[in-house]
Structure 1
Amino acid sequence: MSKSDLRQATRDALANENIGCALGRFSDNYVISREQVYQGRDFEALRREVARIKREAAENMEELAQRFAREATRRGATVYRAATALEAREYIARLAKSRGIKTIVKSKSMASEEIRLNDYLKEQGLECIETDLGEWIIQLSCQRPSHMVMPAIHLSRQEVAGIFSKEIGENVEPEIEGMVKLARRELRKRFLSAWMGISGGNIAVAETGTVVMVTNEGNGRLTTSLPPVHVIIIGLEKLVPRFVDITPILEVLPRSATAQHITSYVTMITGAVPAVDPGGRYHEKKELHIILLDNGRTRMARDPVFIEALQCVRCAACLNVCPVYQLVGGVFGDVYTGGIGTILTAYFTSPERAGMIQNLCLRCERCRDFCSGNIDLPALIGELRRRTVEKEGPGFVQKTIFEKILPNRELFHGLLKTASRLQKPFVRENKVRHLPLFLSDLTKGRTLPAIAAVPFRNRVVRLPRPEKVRGRVAFFSGCLVDFVYPEIGESVAMVLSALGFELVCPETQACCGYPAEQVGLTDSAAKLARQNMAAFAGLDVDQIITACPTCAEALKYHYPTLLEDDVIWSERAGELAAKVQDFSSFILPYREELSSLVHLPGGKITYHDSCHLKRRLRASEAPRQLLTAAGADLVEMTGDYCCGFGGSYSIKFPEVSTAVLNKKIQAVLGTGAPVVALDCPGCRMQIGGGLDRQNRPVKVLHTAEILAEGLLRRENS
């Protein structure tokens, strides 16, 4: 798959209204239901415990596999270690043929999807019938699952009715209860005639040789109990050391997967049990075969970074809250979908596809907050992106921008000055509404602000100074404040001056480096980090303030990681990080003093959470408290939606970016507020441009701008 193929696939998915409607509705309801079902439970403590158990298991994978095999064998099972998908497939086919078995029933198993079992068995002349309702629908329609828990969620009732009609040769009405009865009737025949059942498993306990399976349909129990031969396919990452380790996993798995307290069935299989075959003959002990599947898992366990992904319990919460997955479904993935699917694809099925689909990650970081295994998925996807670029090399445009232009301050600023002059034919009312040729995607779904004629760095000499200096703070402007929204920088200076703080703005500061890191060019990001640390070195300041949460995240969290192996710069990175704070958090302690200086007009204001401010800096309450203290009538939006900007993401995938933006705009309009406050210039550009494109009379302003306007209003009143 090429980049153009991926982009076309996203367009096709966006054009399919069933995908967006079904996944969007489910996600909105899921967040509410999940919050309710976790009431009375400490999710953070639970997921830390799950992460501890799973990390211990990953670090001792071989030892646990041997112990599990020993205990399961002692209880009557046959355990087979499959190093590859092919070995697992061949074992099952040989077993079926050696027993004269032709028909197999299978309950839901992502491991079986991973090894492409159904297609292989069909090639071997064996019939394998999916018995999970969603999986059966997918099998009949010759598709692949679009979700790890709900495989057919992307299909409408009408589509399912059409699939069933074709299967049984008669018209089926799109009525859920009737279709479920039909499935039960058709599949019951299969259960009663099958000699082999295949299932997956959610947990494998090394201490007892027990396999735990959680399901919501009775097909799981029928598959594992009726046929005289039962095969379990379970990945090595499902191993846990002790039986008591089951408890925290069962606490989070159903709550995070389907917002249930517990699933309908929790099945624990420990050793072989009696069975009655389709011919009516009693078997004192059925054949129980357990395939422990490697297929890249031990390689992942040896990777010091990606071992963290083995903490996944396959709850699919990361899919359920991902704004991109909600729009394009299974396009964002392979066998495994969404954020975690990208990482699993890299190790289990297709490194090449993983290297491509990782581009779909918007880096909103929402998945990390909901992950039951406490996995830092955004960081893992970032590392996958870095390794992909390292292997394949950056594109010419990326290489030029991030390696040649951004680190060269004079060249970068000169190009921006040139662009400021060239944009004039396309600018009206300080907005760029259309761009020609290959630049046209930049204005899809939004207008763009014009590049400032006078950047912020050239306005520093005119900044207000306090009469009595309380303290000195440095200001990291960032590219958008410097060259697109210098008025945000001026507003920051005005508010800080009113509170008695003198603003210091080093002229040699450069881009924060986050965009370079975002596309996988960490060396370029590290070079920019050193430039900025040199620019701020030796300043007699108490704090370093920025009006951009993305820049704050880069300086505070990314620089120490980028330079951790640099003997000279690592300590400096830590010292700089300790001083960095976003604008709203810095002035929050002075809100009472500020409220006496600010006069806000009447009327509603709604607030948009920047992903980086809320999910990385954990500072989303600070601006709300400031605005409320200043007299704002704050109205919250429904939902917790990203704006879809993502920096270069809105250029690479403009259709996806616009679709995410439109959902945010609907949330804004739903408040009835004429003003949107926010703390991120990138979000301001995206939301403001989208509202402008739709001719909506809603102002979008940075919190600093609103407070600065209030100061001026107070002075003039």
Structure 2
Amino acid sequence: MSEKEGLKNNVREALANENLRGALGRFGDAYIGARENAYAGKDFQELRGQIAAIKGAAAQNMEELARRFAESARSRGAKVYRARTAQEARDYIKKLAEEKGVRKIVKSKSMASEEIHLNEYLNQHGMESVETDLGEWILQLSGQKPSHMVMPAIHMTRGEVADVFSEEVKRQLSSDIPELVRVAREQLRKKFLAAEMGISGANIAVAETGTIVIVTNEGNARLTTTLPPVHVAVVGMEKLVEKFADVKPILEALPRSATGQKITSYVTMITGPTPAAYPDGSVRDKELHIILLDNGRTSMQSDPVFKEALQCIRCASCLNVCPVFQLVGGHVYGHIYTGGIGTVLTAFFNGFQKASDIQNLCLGCERCKRYCPGNIDIPRLIRELRRRVVENNGLPGMPKFVLEKVLPNRKLFHNLIKTARAAQKPFQKGAMVRHLPMFLAGLTEGRSLPAIAEKPFRDIVLTGHRPPATGDQTKVGFFAGCLTDFVYPQLGEAVHKVLRHMGMRMTFPVEQTCCGVPAIYMGSRKAAAELARRNIAAFERDGVEHIITACPTCAHALKHQYVELLDTDPGWRKRAEYFAAKVTHFTAFVAEKSDNGELPGLQRGNMRITYHDSCHMKGCLGITEEPRALLSAAGLQLAEMEGSDRCCGFGGSYSIKFPEISRRILDKKLAAIEATGAQMLALDCPGCLLQLSGGLDSRGKALPVKHTAEILAQQIAGSGKS
């Protein structure tokens, strides 16, 4: 079985595990509120800026900080070892244990030790290494790996834990949590008292003082680091910071972002060896060994793009808000670190090939970026990882043909659209396609598809009558995007009607083509850059003052990604920057040009509606209040849904690659919409319109779904067809 087939099977198994989905879903739902409460009174943006500056500077000077840390720690009596590889770290600990006659080891939670597979290695060499974190111990007894960086056993029910503990103590236990905790304490206390070595990780390592900082919610880490006569700390080099003062902002953010706590139960700072009681009754300083683990970190540090990942503080907030992780958990990622950031870490710690398939799990909703306290642009790193995978392995045949031959060739592209329009006729009912045959059947499982329009928007523009422009009219260029152009031309007409109502002249450069997002998300930078150049040139010829689009995904590409795509060509970069400065999403543009969202001459409605914040609209463009202001000013009653900014599960080709995941995310979104009792769903993204209207239609729900532009156009006084 190939890795790709294995990933698909793992996803199916995870989705079939109701306990897993229930536990992750409940935590994910509760996490947002708990996190908001924990950050109350804190300026998160300022705090994450401080952390990014501290960690970014530390990453830039990693080698120097490692040298200074080693010097400071040694001056206080610690022994420091630089391990270039996982094997070097394992061998150092094994050799040390053999020299000291160690056979019993206790270990507190450490992702770095998981990364180097330390337990298995020590056990193979005749040493008993026991996890003492409750979640990690449960997994060790059951032979499983962590599914979450902070809550490793979140996927297990208390009934499953009771069975594991019953097997360990050789008697049947109930699933009563206090009883299970009591049993764990009894069993682990014996391990602590018998241990000859304790192994821990560290959350922070301070170069100035040689201090390691350990943040935990259980007392096991303190017992691990104090009771045994030898303490070994395995510390990834990304944990280094320059000054002791740098610890404060990280401590403020780590518990708040990890579990929604203001502070964890235990913050332990160790600076040099501490006194310990030995079996012979003497009291003397214990041995402290600190292993600074590289294992790919200096390679990451030398990479101009991926060095940003070293700003990670391992809080796992990116996992907690990820709609995919909440459904499938961490085991499907196949390695120690999970989720979006885990995919990047896997590429450097285990090899790029190991991450070539799991990077496809990223939906591209960009939610993780908003919550990361290290201010890491994880989606950008995933896209770069994808690009490098494609650069090394190439694109599969059909995607390669579409991206490199079809999309840049407008005539071929439009002819294929016409062919598809004719082919859909036997399966079309009204404006929807509810069933497709043979290998296409999966496209309509759990979601109807909109029919391709009889006449694309570009043809309506070319043949329709438009009133002549007056000299003082603002000239606005409209970028349609593929869905508006070929599936929802009425959306383009609505945009035109609203702009005309505002006294503006809309133009449509017919040379425009796909925005390039499919190429970007499939890893073909070359194809995306070519589409960017074509679109920039098309609008330059039109000489517009503003460029608007009704699609936030297109707006994000035009405004932010084109500059990145054309960065290596100074001439095109300058043109991309000038182009990007003109780009605005339609709804934000109308809100800005209106009087607090009030458009004169609109008929006021009285309908109860709910609003869906599309991922790129809120997460990338920062637009959330503007559509609400426009809709409220038009007299519509807004009923906010729970999780209005949670993804609908579309993700373009994602809904084709992982239809089961897409459908599960869609189901949750539709339930939130239905719970509002709204008479209409408003949104601002054609992709979300496709997904949500198709989901409602396939479930027999008659709730209308409208773009803000359509709602405003319908309420223009004396409105007729534009």
TM-score class, shorter: over 0.9
The equivalent residue for 2:452 is 451
Q: Secondary structure at the match of 2:298?
A: helix
The equivalent residue for 2:325 is 325
What CA distance in whole angstroms lies between the structure 2 residues aligned with 1:126 and 1:342?
32
Displacement of 1:443 after TM fit?
A: 1.0
Q: Determine what percentage of the aligned residue pairs are the same residue.
A: 58
What CA distance in whole angstroms lies between the structure 2 residues aligned with 1:483 and 1:163?
57
What CA distance in whole angstroms lies between the structure 1 residues aligned with 2:465 and 2:280?
90
What CA distance in whole angstroms lies between the structure 2 residues aligned with 1:272 and 1:199?
14
Matched, 1:619 2:620: no
8 A contact 1:465–1:497 mirrored in 2: no
Q: 1:680 aligns with which of 685, 691, 701?
A: 685
8 A contact 1:555–1:577 mirrored in 2: yes
Task: Give deviations 1:406-436, integer Å, cap 9, x for gaps.
Answer: 0000000000001000110111122111111
Q: Secondary structure at the match of 1:137?
A: helix
The equivalent residue for 2:603 is 599
The equivalent residue for 1:293 is 293
| Structure-2-length-normalised TM-score | 0.97
Q: 1:507 aligns with which of 502, 505, 510?
A: 510
8 A contact 1:463–1:490 mirrored in 2: no
What CA distance in whole angstroms lies between the structure 2 residues aligned with 1:313 and 1:196?
27
Matched, 1:187 2:188: yes
Segments of structure 1 that go 5 or more residues without pairing to the other structure are none
Matched, 1:638 2:639: no
Matched, 1:562 2:565: yes
The equivalent residue for 2:18 is 17
| Structure-1-length-normalised TM-score | 0.98
Matched, 1:484 2:477: no
Alignment of 1:237-256 (within 5 A): 237-256=238-257
- Structure 2 CA distance for partners of 1:6 and 1:712, relative to 1, 3 Å: farther
Matched, 1:706 2:711: yes
Q: Secondary structure at the match of 1:568?
A: helix
The equivalent residue for 1:200 is 201
What CA distance in whole angstroms lies between the structure 2 residues aligned with 1:444 and 1:28?
26
Matched letter for residue 3 of structure 2: S
Q: 2:543 aligns with which of 529, 540, 558?
A: 540
8 A contact 1:228–1:283 mirrored in 2: no
What CA distance in whole angstroms lies between the structure 1 residues aligned with 2:700 and 2:163?
41
What CA distance in whole angstroms lies between the structure 1 residues aligned with 2:593 and 2:350?
54
The equivalent residue for 2:121 is 120
Task: Give deviations 1:188-240, integer Å, cap 9, x for gaps.
Answer: 00000001000000000111111000111010000000000110000111001
8 A contact 2:605–2:634 mirrored in 1: no
Q: Secondary structure at the match of 2:356?
A: helix
8 A contact 1:333–1:341 mirrored in 2: no
Q: 2:612 aligns with which of 603, 608, 611?
A: 608
Alignment of 1:431-442 (within 5 A): 431-442=432-443
What CA distance in whole angstroms lies between the structure 1 residues aligned with 2:639 and 2:410?
41
Task: Give deviations 1:355-403, integer Å, cap 9, x for gaps.
Answer: 2111000010110110010101110111001001101111111100100
Alignment of 1:398-477 (within 5 A): 398-460=399-461, 461-462=463-464, 465=467, 470-477=473-480
- Structure 2 CA distance for partners of 1:280 and 1:427, relative to 1, 3 Å: farther
Q: Secondary structure at the match of 2:452?
A: coil
Matched letter for residue 139 of structure 2: I
What CA distance in whole angstroms lies between the structure 1 residues aligned with 2:272 and 2:338?
32
- Structure 2 CA distance for partners of 1:712 and 1:682, relative to 1, 3 Å: farther
Task: Give deviations 1:255-303, integer Å, cap 9, x for gaps.
Answer: 11111111101100011111123x3532411111110100000110000
Matched letter for residue 371 of structure 1: C
What CA distance in whole angstroms lies between the structure 1 residues aligned with 2:48 and 2:373?
5
Displacement of 1:462 after TM fit?
A: 2.0
| Matched positions, count | 715
Matched letter for residue 244 of structure 2: F
Displacement of 1:463 after TM fit?
A: 5.9
The equivalent residue for 1:696 is 701
The equivalent residue for 1:584 is 587
Q: Secondary structure at the match of 1:57?
A: helix
What CA distance in whole angstroms lies between the structure 2 residues aligned with 1:85 and 1:434?
52
Displacement of 1:169 after TM fit?
A: 1.3
Which segment is superposed worse, 327-336 or 295-304?
A: 327-336
8 A contact 1:477–1:546 mirrored in 2: yes
What CA distance in whole angstroms lies between the structure 2 residues aligned with 1:543 and 1:507?
16
8 A contact 1:598–1:714 mirrored in 2: no
Matched letter for residue 182 of structure 2: K
Matched letter for residue 214 of structure 1: V
Displacement of 1:465 after TM fit?
A: 3.8
Displacement of 1:464 after TM fit?
A: 5.1
8 A contact 1:467–1:500 mirrored in 2: no
Displacement of 1:467 after TM fit?
A: 7.7
Q: Secondary structure at the match of 2:609?
A: strand
Q: Secondary structure at the match of 1:473?
A: strand
The equivalent residue for 1:56 is 57
What CA distance in whole angstroms lies between the structure 1 residues aligned with 2:718 and 2:352?
58
Displacement of 1:28 after TM fit?
A: 1.1
Matched letter for residue 334 of structure 1: H
The equivalent residue for 2:524 is 521
Q: Secondary structure at the match of 2:422?
A: helix
Displacement of 1:71 after TM fit?
A: 1.1
Matched letter for residue 295 of structure 1: N
Query: Root-mean-square deviation (CA), in Å?
Result: 1.4
8 A contact 2:231–2:288 mirrored in 1: yes
What CA distance in whole angstroms lies between the structure 1 residues aligned with 2:241 and 2:277?
32
